C-alpha cells in the first residue's frame, strides 16, 4: 500500500470516527431528553449538520386519525403539519410501508413511480413556504413493531443525493428515536400531561394549550404551572388539585400561618433549599413533612435521606413559587435566618453534651438567649397577645404557640433537649426561682432590660404532666388606647356611653369574659376623661396600657396591696376618677359603690356575660339595692368578634331566607323599627374569601360588639325591687338596649362581619 493511500485511509478513518462520535452524541441526547419537545426542537441543528441537510422533520404518528403530525416553531407560535398515512406524501408512504425512502428529486414523477406507482409528493408545504424540496431521505421510526413516526431529511447541502452511509446512520437515529419516543409516549401518559390530566379532563385546559405552555415554560425557563396560572389564567387551586391527584399527595400553599419548624431547619442552608425547591414543614407521626414541587424526584428524595438519615418522609406537592415563599418566610430575611440557623446549630452541637442536663443552663448561653428574644420579637411583630411554651416529656419537641386575634396558632418547635434551658431563661428574665419547678409562679419581663424593644410581658409558669413546666407570656404592649369613636361603637351606643362617662360621679361597669377587650375599652374611656383638670387613679393587675396623665398602680396582693386596699388609699388621695381593674369580691365592690356615691366617677370590670346578669350578680354579692341603683350609670357588655378581611371580602346577594333568618335572630319586633332595612333583591352582604393579607382564612382583625344597659329610672326601680334578670333584660331592650347579638347583626348589615363569627361570641 502506498503511503498516500494509507494517509487517505487514516483520514477516512478519522473522519469516520468524528462522524460516529457526532452520531453517538445525537443518540445520547435523544436518550437523555426529558420530553418530546426537547427532541423535536433542540436536536434539529445537530441532525441537519451531521447529515449536511437543509431540513429535518420529525413526524409523530397519531394512530387515532391515521396521520403523521409534525410540530414546528414559527415566529411566535407552534404550528402543525398533518399528513395522512398514505402514498399521497413521501413521509406518509414511508410510514405506511414501513420502508426507507431515498429520492434525488421529489418533483421527479418517474423517480417516485419507480419506487411505487402510487407514491406522490405533497407539494402543499413547498407552496406555502416557498421552500423547494429536492432530495428526501425518510426513515420510519419503529419500536417493537409499533410505528411511532417518521424522520425526514430534506435537501442535501451539496445538491447531491443522500448516500448509503446516510441511510445507515438515519436508521440508527431512527432506532434510538424509536426507543425514546416509545418511553416518551408512556411517560407522556404518566408524566408530562399526566400532571395536568385533571385540568384536561375538566376542560380547564386544552391539549394544545398545554403543549404551548410546555414550550413557553422551557423558553422562559419557568415552571409550566406558572404559565398555566399567569398566562392561561387557570386558578391556582385547580392546578394544585391536578398535581395532588397525579402525585397522590396533599398540597400545600404558602400562608403566614405555617409554623417555623426550628429543629428541622437546623443545619439546612437557605440557598440550598432555594435551588432544590424543597423545604421541611413539620414532623408528624414520626415522618418529616416536606413541601416539594415533584414528589417523584428520586434525586431530591436522596438529598433528603442524606440530610435526615433514618427518617421517613411525607411529601406535599407545592408550586415552586410557594416553596420559595415558605423558605423566605422561615428565614425571614437572610440575616435572621443566619441567626436562627446559628442558634439551632449551636444548640445541636451542644445538645449532645447537654442531652438532659436539666437544670444546667447558663444565662450567658448565647443560643438560648437569642432564641427566646427572637420568639418574643416575632410574636410582637405578628401582633400576638400571648406566647405559649409547651414542653412534652421524652424526645418530643417543645411547641411554641402564639395567640393572634383570639386564636392560637403554632409558631415554632424547639428541639426537646433545650426545653428546660428555654424555660429557665424565661424564668431568669422574669426574676423567678429557677429551682422551683413544682409550683406555679408569676412574674414580669421588662424586655427593654435585655436589649429588646420597650415591651412588657406578664409571665406565668405552671408545672405540667411528666415533670415539665409550661410558660405562658402575655404581651403587654405599651400602645396608646384607641379613641372611643374608633372602638366600633354603634352611633347610639357611642353617644350613650359618652354621656355616662361624662357624669361627675356614679359607677360604670364593663363586663365580659377574659379577652373581650374590657380593659381596652376602660382605657379608651379614661383617655377621653384624661385632662389636666381631672385626677385619675387606676389600680390594675397588670398595668397593660399606660397613659400619660393617669396615676397607675400595679396591685400586689402578696404584700397586701390588693384592689380593695388600693381603692381605700385612692379615696385619701383626692381622686376625681377611679378605675379598678376588676371587682370580684364584696369588699372591693362596696368600696367602689360608696366612692361613686361620694362624688367620684368609678369605672371597673366584671366577669359576667351580659349587662342584665351583672345587676343580679352584684345584688347576689350583697350590694345594697338602693345604694347600687343610685350609683349605677351604665353597664356595658362587650365581646370581640373577628371581622371580615377588608381586602378579600366578597359581597353577595342576600336571599330572602337568609334575610328572614337574620331578622328572626334579631327579634322580628325590633328588627323593622331599629334596623329598618327592608328586603330588596339587590340587598348585599359580605362573606369571607381568603387572601394573602388574612392568611387565607377570610378574617382579619377584630371589632367589639356591645350591649349597653343605661341606668334609667325604670332600671333603677327594678334594681330596688331586686327584679329577675329577664325582667331587667326586657325592660332594657324596651328602653333601647341592643343585645350583643343584635349589635352583631347590625354590623353584619354594615358589611363588617358574618353571622358565623357573631354566633361564635354570643348566644343571645
Phi, psi at residue 549, to the nearest 5°? 105, -35
Question: Which of residues 388 and 649 has its CB atom nearest to Zn ion in the complex?
Answer: 649
Query: Residue 476 and residue 457: Cα distance in Å, rounded?
Result: 6
Provide the minimum distance between the beta carbon of 229 and Zn ion in the complex, in angstroms, as a whole number.
19
Question: Which of residues 501 and 694 has its CB atom nearest to Zn ion in the complex?
Answer: 694
The DSSP result for 446-464, as a single string, is EGGGGT--S-EEEEEEEEE
Question: Which of residues 444 and 700 has its CB atom nearest to Zn ion in the complex?
Answer: 700
List residues binding Zn ion (CB under 5 A). Answer: 645, 647-648, 691, 693-694
Q: Hey, CA dihedral for 521, 522, 523, 524, is it positive or negative? A: positive
Q: Are strands 456-464 and 441-446 parallel, antiparallel or unpaired?
A: antiparallel
**Quick one: angle between helices 740-749 and 656-666, nearest 10?**
150
Query: Residue 282 and residue 260: Cα distance in Å, rounded?
Result: 8
Q: Are strands 536-540 and 551-554 parallel, antiparallel or unpaired?
A: parallel
Provide the minimum distance between the beta carbon of 696 and Zn ion in the complex, in angstroms, as a whole number.
7
Spacing of C-alpha 675 from chain mean position:
38
Provide the minimum distance between the beta carbon of 650 and Zn ion in the complex, in angstroms, as a whole number.
10
Question: Which of residues 542 and 690 has its CB atom nearest to Zn ion in the complex?
Answer: 690
Phi, psi at residue 654, to the nearest 5°? -80, 130
Residue 370 to residues 89, 268, 449, Cα–Cα distance (Å): 76, 19, 14
Question: Which of residues 576 and 692 has its CB atom nearest to Zn ion in the complex?
Answer: 692
Provide the minimum distance between the beta carbon of 318 and Zn ion in the complex, in angstroms, as a whole number.
20
Provide the minimum distance between the beta carbon of 645 and Zn ion in the complex, in angstroms, as a whole number.
3
Alpha carbons within 13 A on the beta-carbon side of 63: 4
Question: Which of residues 28 and 650 has its CB atom nearest to Zn ion in the complex?
Answer: 650
Provide the minimum distance between the beta carbon of 695 and Zn ion in the complex, in angstroms, as a whole number.
8
Provide the minimum distance between the beta carbon of 405 and Zn ion in the complex, in angstroms, as a whole number.
13
- Four-point Cα dihedral 350, 354, 356, 359, nearest 10: -110
What is the DSSP secondary structure assignment for residue 79, as one 8-state letter?
E
Question: Which of residues 617 and 649 has its CB atom nearest to Zn ion in the complex?
Answer: 649
Question: Which of residues 16 and 693 has its CB atom nearest to Zn ion in the complex?
Answer: 693
Placement of cell 400602645 in the chain: 479
Provide the minimum distance between the beta carbon of 383 and Zn ion in the complex, in angstroms, as a whole number.
15
79-89 as b/e, with b when 16 or more CB fall inside 10 Å? eebebebbbeb
Give the nearest residue (CB) to Zn ion.
Answer: 645
Question: Which of residues 324 and 691 has its CB atom nearest to Zn ion in the complex?
Answer: 691
Q: Helices (DSSP H) in 147-206: which residue ranges?
A: 164-190, 197-201
Provide the minimum distance between the beta carbon of 234 and Zn ion in the complex, in angstroms, as a whole number.
21
Amino acid at each position: 500500500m502506498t503511503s498516500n493511500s494509507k494517509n487517505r485511509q487514516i483520514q477516512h478513518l478519522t473522519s469516520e470516527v468524528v462522524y460516529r462520535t457526532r452520531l453517538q452524541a445525537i443518540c445520547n441526547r435523544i436518550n437523555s431528553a426529558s420530553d418530546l419537545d426537547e427532541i423535536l426542537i433542540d436536536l434539529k441543528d445537530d441532525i441537519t449538520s451531521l447529515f449536511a441537510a437543509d431540513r429535518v422533520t420529525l413526524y409523530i404518528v397519531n394512530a387515532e386519525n391515521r396521520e403523521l403530525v409534525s410540530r414546528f416553531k414559527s415566529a411566535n407560535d407552534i404550528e402543525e403539519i398533518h399528513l395522512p398515512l398514505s402514498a399521497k406524501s413521501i413521509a406518509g408512504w414511508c410510514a405506511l410501508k414501513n420502508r426507507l425512502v431515498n429520492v434525488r428529486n421529489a418533483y421527479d414523477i418517474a423517480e417516485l413511480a419507480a419506487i411505487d406507482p402510487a407514491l406522490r409528493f405533497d407539494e402543499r408545504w413547498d407552496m406555502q413556504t416557498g421552500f423547494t424540496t429536492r432530495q428526501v431521505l425518510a426513515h420510519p421510526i419503529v419500536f417493537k413493531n409499533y410505528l411511532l413516526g417518521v424522520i425526514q431529511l430534506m435537501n442535501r447541502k451539496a445538491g447531491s443525493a443522500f448516500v448509503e452511509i446516510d441511510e445507515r446512520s438515519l436508521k440508527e437515529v431512527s432506532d434510538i428515536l424509536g426507543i425514546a419516543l416509545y418511553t416518551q409516549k408512556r411517560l407522556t401518559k404518566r408524566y408530562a400531561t399526566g400532571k395536568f390530566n385533571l385540568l384536561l379532563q375538566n376542560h380547564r385546559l386544552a391539549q394544545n394549550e398545554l403543549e404551548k405552555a410546555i414550550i413557553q415554560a422551557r423558553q422562559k425557563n419557568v415552571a409550566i404551572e406558572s404559565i398555566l396560572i399567569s398566562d392561561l389564567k387557570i386558578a391556582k387551586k385547580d392546578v394544585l388539585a391536578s398535581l395532588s391527584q397525579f402525585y397522590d399527595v396533599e398540597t400545600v400553599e404558602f400562608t403566614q400561618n405555617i409554623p417555623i419548624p426550628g429543629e428541622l431547619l437546623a443545619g439546612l442552608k437557605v440557598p440550598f433549599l432555594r435551588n432544590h425547591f424543597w423545604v421541611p414543614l413539620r414532623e408528624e407521626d414520626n415522618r418529616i413533612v416536606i413541601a416539594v414541587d415533584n414528589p417523584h424526584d428520586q434525586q431530591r428524595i436522596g438529598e433528603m435521606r442524606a440530610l435526615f438519615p433514618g427518617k421517613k418522609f411525607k411529601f406535599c406537592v407545592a408550586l415552586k413559587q410557594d416553596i420559595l415563599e415558605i423558605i423566605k418566610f422561615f428565614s425571614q430575611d437572610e440575616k435572621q435566618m443566619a441567626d436562627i440557623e446559628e442558634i439551632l446549630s449551636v444548640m445541636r452541637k451542644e445538645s449532645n453534651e447537654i442531652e438532659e442536663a436539666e437544670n444546667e443552663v447558663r444565662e450567658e448561653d448565647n443560643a438560648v438567649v437569642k432564641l427566646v428574644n427572637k420568639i418574643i420579637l416575632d410574636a410582637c411583630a405578628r401582633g400576638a397577645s400571648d406566647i405559649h411554651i409547651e414542653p412534652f416529656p421524652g424526645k418530643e419537641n417543645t411547641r411554641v404557640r402564639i395567640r393572634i386575634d383570639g386564636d392560637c396558632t403554632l409558631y415554632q418547635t424547639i428541639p426537646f433537649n433545650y426545653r428546660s434551658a428555654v424555660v429557665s431563661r424565661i424564668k431568669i428574665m422574669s426574676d423567678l426561682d429557677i429551682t422551683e419547678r413544682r409550683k406555679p409562679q408569676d412574674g414580669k419581663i421588662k424586655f427593654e432590660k435585655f436589649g429588646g424593644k420597650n415591651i412588657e410581658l406578664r409571665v406565668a409558669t405552671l408545672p405540667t404532666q411528666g415533670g415539665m413546666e409550661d410558660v405562658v407570656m402575655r404581651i403587654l404592649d405599651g400602645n396608646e388606647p384607641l379613641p372611643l369613636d374608633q372602638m366600633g361603637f354603634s352611633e347610639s351606643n357611642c353617644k350613650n356611653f359618652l354621656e355616662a362617662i361624662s357624669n361627675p360621679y356614679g359607677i360604670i361597669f364593663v363586663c365580659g369574659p377574659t379577652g373581650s377587650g374590657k380593659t381596652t375599652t376602660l382605657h379608651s374611656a379614661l383617655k377621653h376623661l384624661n385632662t389636666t383638670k381631672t385626677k385619675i387613679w387606676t389600680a390594675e393587675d397588670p398595668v397593660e396600657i399606660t397613659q400619660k396623665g393617669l396615676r397607675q398602680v400595679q396591685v400586689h396582693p402578696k404584700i397586701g396591696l390588693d384592689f380593695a386596699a388600693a381603692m381605700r388609699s385612692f379615696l385619701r388621695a383626692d381622686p376625681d376618677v377611679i378605675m379598678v381593674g376588676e371587682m370580684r369580691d364584696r369588699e372591693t365592690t362596696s368600696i367602689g359603690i360608696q366612692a361613686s356615691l361620694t362624688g367620684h366617677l368609678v369605672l371597673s370590670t366584671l366577669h359576667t356575660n351580659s349587662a342584665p346578669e351583672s345587676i343580679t350578680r352584684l345584688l347576689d354579692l350583697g350590694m345594697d339595692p338602693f345604694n347600687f341603683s343610685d350609683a349605677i350609670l351604665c353597664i356595658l357588655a362587650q365581646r370581640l368578634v373577628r371581622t371580615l378581611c377588608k381586602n378579600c371580602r366578597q359581597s353577595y346577594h342576600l336571599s330572602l331566607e337568609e334575610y328572614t333568618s337574620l331578622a328572626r335572630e334579631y327579634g322580628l319586633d325590633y328588627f323593622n323599627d331599629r334596623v329598618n332595612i327592608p328586603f330588596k333583591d339587590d340587598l348585599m352582604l359580605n362573606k369571607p374569601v381568603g387572601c394573602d393579607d388574612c392568611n387565607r382564612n377570610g378574617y382579619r382583625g377584630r371589632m367589639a360588639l356591645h350591649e349597653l344597659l343605661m341606668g334609667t329610672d325604670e332600671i333603677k326601680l327594678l334594681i330596688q325591687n331586686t327584679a329577675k334578670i329577664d325582667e331587667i333584660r326586657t325592660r332594657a331592650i324596651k328602653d333601647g338596649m341592643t343585645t350583643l347579638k343584635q349589635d352583631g347583626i347590625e354590623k353584619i348589615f354594615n358589611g363588617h362581619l358574618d353571622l358565623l363569627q357573631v354566633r361564635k361570641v354570643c348566644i343571645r
